[in-house]
Chain A
Amino acid sequence: GQQVMQIPQYQHVQEGEDFTTYCNSSTTLSNIQWYKQRPGGHPVFLIQLVKSGEVKKQKRLTFQFGEAKKNSSLHITATQTTDVGTYFCAAGRGSTLGRLYFGRGTQLTVWP
């Protein structure tokens, strides 16, 4: 079954608006990763979060890991057309750290 729930499934924004995607798990996670997939491309790693309450930034992207390590979010400030793609969260669990459980992704469309 679906181990990690990700919402929304689709998001359409005008260039310059902000965007957020959320990931939730019913169980405590060892870590959470975020990937971006451009249309027609393959997933590309963005970041990994490990610590409770961790916040990391990459330019206009802000990643958060919840205090209970059961949820995470990716926020993009002032979207650009280059942000178009599908963003996936992927959860790691303690028993097999390398194996990931992917959310279904949020497909972001940015119109100028």
Chain B
Amino acid sequence: NAGVTQTPKFQVLKTGQSMTLQCAQDMNHNSMYWYRQDPGMGLRLIYYSASEGTTDKGEVPNGYNVSRLNKREFSLRLESAAPSQTSVYFCASSNNRDSIYEQYFGPGTRLTVT
């Protein structure tokens, strides 16, 4: 099992450009999440999908959109990138296993917006 995979690993964008971050999991998990991590800020939830076909806003959704394409894939789109979106983005997935909601994280995408 590959677990959670993310592409790309690194990306540099100019202000105003758009891009989509891809995430896929092969663990048959129902729930998937997108976080951003900034120095000293911990992990902040952008959007999540509790199950296939549903998505909900997290703490910092402005400037982002998501698509739960199927059970495996959950993508994050930046329509018009801004320097404030420079961050490390992590995708995660989880399932309810014996009431344990352990989240499995991907390796991250390091995004710089200039």
Which residues of A line the B interface, CB within 8 A?
A: 6, 9, 31, 33, 35, 41-45, 48, 50, 88, 90, 92, 96-105
Taking CB as reference atom, which chain A residue is nearest B94?
Answer: A98
Q: How large is the interface on B (under 10, 10 to 19, 20 to 34, 35 or more residues)?
A: 20 to 34
Smallest CB–CB gap between B93 and chain A, Å? 10
Complex Cα gap A100–B106 (Å): 16
Interface of B is mostly: strand
B90 touches A42 (CB 8 A): yes
Which residues of B line the A interface, CB within 8 A?
A: 31, 33, 35, 40-45, 48, 50, 58, 90, 92, 94, 96, 99-108
Complex contacts, B50 vs chain A, CB 8 Å: 96, 98-99
Complex contacts, A44 vs chain B, CB 8 Å: 105
Report which of A43, A50, A88, A99 forms a contact with B45, defined as CB distance below 8 A.
Answer: A99
